[in-house]
Structure 1
Amino acid sequence: MGFPKPILRTGRPRKMSERTTRAVVRYLLKNRRATAQELTNAVSHISPLHRDTVTKAILRLNFASRIAAKKPYLKPAHELARLNFAKKHEKWTVEDWKKVIWTDESSFEIGKNSRRIRVWRRSYERFHSDCLASTFKSGRTSVMVWGAFCGDLKKCKLILIPKDKRTAADYVKYVYENALSGYYNHAENPSELILMEDRAPTHKSNLPKAWRAAYGMDRLVWPAQSPDLNPVENVWRLMKAWISLQPIPSNEAEMWKLTEAAWERVSGDFLNRLVESMPARMKAVIAAKGGATRW
């Protein structure tokens, strides 16, 4: 006499129905910054559930609460300009990008501690537009600096831009004449180099234009809201990460010295790797149709 076969059991049914699960996902995709309690309240009319039950269901669907990546806000016009720029330079090689003088300004604030925003996203959605914490330019600053480097040259000296010296004439005096002119002429073939600058009003003023024309310096037309395409931004992040580990400076003079020390720590190998990443950055912008990238 054989033993009876065990009856297959389906197990205890989930507290959260498929209908409720779909409703939670729909609400979550429209409200990425919703708290777990808000998600629970949003479906309470379908099924009264505990917050923990909803949270577990979200995790099973591969969503997780993560810190939102900060990226500049992109309008459709910005995305189109970025896409056109990437397509125009898609065929550029690393050797082409090595002929670009990468420049940028950045502010270093004393004791800055930005608020972090959490969003619900899947592992591959970090740079989805709904999962970003948009950044906007701020007028606050402690010290403003200008830096530059080129693939075939050592990095330029870091320049401090005084608070009361921010006009176009000041920019020509403190940046162009004090640093860029010597850096540009130090190259073996300066005429082959091209200057990268963002679309800040100071760069577009008549005096800087006239100065660049006098030197015969070509300028790379840059799309707005595109710090992810400028490798100098990676240098700033590296410097700020190191500065954040140092004792907090008590005044601007100490902040300037600390910023100079951080600039000196940036290695040539790191800068070369940044330049070598440019072809991949162009492909990433095209893949994102002009949207934000991981860079």
Structure 2
Amino acid sequence: MKTPNIKKQNILCKRRKVQELFKKKLAISEIARQTGMARSNVYRWIKRDSILDKPKIKKSKKITDSIEKMIESEMRDKIGVGTRRVAKCLKKTFESTGSSRTISRSTIQRHLKQTEWGKIVRRIKNKPLLSKKNIEDRLNFCEIIEKAGYLCTKRLGQELRSHILFTDESVIELHPHINSNNAVIRTSDKKSIPVNSVPKKSEKIMVVGGICSRGKTPLLVFNSGLRINAAMYQEAILPVYFEFMKNKTFFPSERKIMFQQDMAPAHSAKSTMKLIEGAGFKTWGKGVWPGNSPDLNVIEHMWNELQESVFIAPRPTNIAELKTRVNEKWNSITVDYLKKLVESFPARIVECQTNLGNVTRY
């Protein structure tokens, strides 16, 4: 094994040889071949007068041990504390001791990248606040689903899941707020960064629909401000769901059909439940589907797709264009995507059980 001194001597010999061969007017590629050095290293050493490394200049340590402790006490495990605030705090500390010293934000940022606890910024997620009853209802629902065979990985489980019609409603805004977590643009020109202008009150529409693993219902679009009560739900929305569930293309086995809806007042009204039962469809009735559980409903991802389509250029400028845009997006969603959503249902249930009824990552 070569000692460090011998290795260093060999490196210096190679550098000297590079300079000698270059003086003999050999090509760079030939010098690299004879010395075994990379072409980039050959370029570097033919430009130097010396074969020795440049002396390293020792920089004074700005972040001392005491300052390091101050930064950690101010920032570690603290919510919303940034480098700007810490820099101001350090400046006040220095001024109180009569020191003219300053620590810039960039210095603090470089220091954080070298620490185990501060090199990665982690965002805090907002999740629904579940009551004790919500958690109990979620666990009871998971148990019902498991006993009914919906979690089975074999053909029976797949058939049962493919016969669920997941339904829901959502509001789509014409001028939505951008999600600041992922709204980024990469450009060298700061002036080219677009601005998302948001009015005080954005115009909205309400969309209603259902999906299964073989297809989706027509998308129903209503103007904002329209309240869906039991009468409207029964007259304008349920007939669309019933017609869809009677289609053998989407639901080959009538006895396996399960109609999913949340327990909104219009959905859980006695007259609504009686109408569903009279049409011959099974549903997870009142007290079965848990409240405050959008993470268990696979159709929620569809609403994200529709809302994000608003940002696709050219952006809609009025409600008519918004309605056209969401309908185009709804119709463009493929059956393969629907299958993936429906097949995520077992994973949602299992994760809910693992989390003891608390919210999942979905």
Q: TM-score, normalised by structure 2?
A: 0.61
CA distance in 1, matches of 2:75, 2:350: 31
CA drift of 1:53 comes to 5.1
CA drift of 1:34 comes to 3.0
CA drift of 1:182 comes to 0.5
CA distance in 1, matches of 2:264, 2:254: 24
Alignment of 1:193 with 2:257, yes or no, is yes
- Residue of structure 2 in register with 1:174 after alignment: 236
Letter in 2 for 1:166: I
Larger RCO, structures 1/2 (Cα 8 Å, 6+ apart): 1
- Residue of structure 1 in register with 2:326 after alignment: 259
CA distance in 2, matches of 1:44, 1:225: 47
CA drift of 1:188 comes to 3.0
Residue ranges of structure 2 left out of the alignment (5+ in a row): 1-59, 95-101, 183-200
Residues 200, 56 of structure 1: alpha-carbon distance in 2 compared, 3 angstrom cutoff: farther
Residues 250, 53 of structure 1: alpha-carbon distance in 2 compared, 3 angstrom cutoff: closer
CA drift of 1:39 comes to 5.2
CA drift of 1:81 comes to 3.4
Letter in 2 for 1:275: V
CA drift of 1:211 comes to 1.2
> Any conservation in 1 of the 2:309–2:326 contact (CA below 8 Å)?
no
1:144-202, CA deviations, whole angstroms, 9 ceiling, x for partnerless residues? 11111122x4211111234435221011111102x111012123332321111122222
Alignment of 1:205 with 2:273, yes or no, is no
What's the % identity of the aligned pairs? 23
Residue ranges of structure 1 left out of the alignment (5+ in a row): 1-10, 119-138
- Residue of structure 2 in register with 1:34 after alignment: 81
> Any conservation in 2 of the 1:191–1:216 contact (CA below 8 Å)?
no
Alignment of 1:85 with 2:141, yes or no, is yes
Secondary structure (helix, strand or coil) at the match of 1:65 reads coil
- Residue of structure 2 in register with 1:65 after alignment: 121
> Any conservation in 1 of the 2:74–2:81 contact (CA below 8 Å)?
no
CA distance in 2, matches of 1:110, 1:199: 28
Alignment of 1:27-176 (within 5 A): 27-28=77-78, 31=79, 33-38=80-85, 51-52=105-106, 54-59=108-113, 60-63=115-118, 64-65=120-121, 68-90=124-146, 92-93=151-152, 94-95=157-158, 96-114=160-178, 116=180, 142-151=204-213, 153-162=214-223, 163-164=225-226, 166-176=228-238
> Any conservation in 2 of the 1:16–1:53 contact (CA below 8 Å)?
no
Aligned to 2:289, which of 222, 236, 248? 222
Residues 289, 26 of structure 1: alpha-carbon distance in 2 compared, 3 angstrom cutoff: farther
1:68-112, CA deviations, whole angstroms, 9 ceiling, x for partnerless residues? 545433345434433443344346234232221111111111021
User: In angstroms, what is the RMSD of aligned CA positions?
Assistant: 3.5
> Any conservation in 2 of the 1:20–1:46 contact (CA below 8 Å)?
no
Structure of greater Rg: 2
Residues 158, 20 of structure 1: alpha-carbon distance in 2 compared, 3 angstrom cutoff: same
Residues 14, 290 of structure 1: alpha-carbon distance in 2 compared, 3 angstrom cutoff: farther
Letter in 1 for 2:142: A
